Each structure stands twice: as structure tokens, then as C-alpha cells.
């Protein structure tokens, strides 16, 4: 359904992050009748 890269403190879209900046990838999808939602911490390169 969606995937977005956000600032981990504000959850606002990250835009064009600078290298070394902490970010969060948020995503959701449907798998059969279930909706799977997850997030992952990453560092911009």
C-alpha cells in the first residue's frame, strides 16, 4: 500500500537527507486478508 522514508523524530517525509542522518522506512502492504505494517531504522549514505 505504501512505503515512505521519514525523519524518526517527527515522522515527516525525509526529502533529500544528508549522509549519516538517521531515518526510518515505514511500509504497509496487504497479504491476503491481513495488512502488514512495519518500520526499519536506516542511516543515509
Domains of the chain: 2-43 (3.30.1300.10)
pLDDT in tens, 1-45: 999 999 999 999 999 999 999 999 999 999 999 999 999 999 999
Contacts by 38-41, CB closer than 8 A, 24 or more apart: 41/8
Helix segments in the chain, DSSP class H: none
Q: What's the pTM value of the predicted model, to 2 decimals? A: 0.85
Amino acid at each position: 500500500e505504501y512505503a515512505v522514508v521519514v525523519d524518526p523524530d517527527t515522522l515527516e517525509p525525509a526529502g533529500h537527507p544528508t549522509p549519516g542522518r538517521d531515518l526510518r522506512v515505514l511500509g504497509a502492504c496487504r497479504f491476503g486478508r491481513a495488512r502488514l505494517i512495519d518500520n526499519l531504522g536506516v542511516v543515509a549514505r
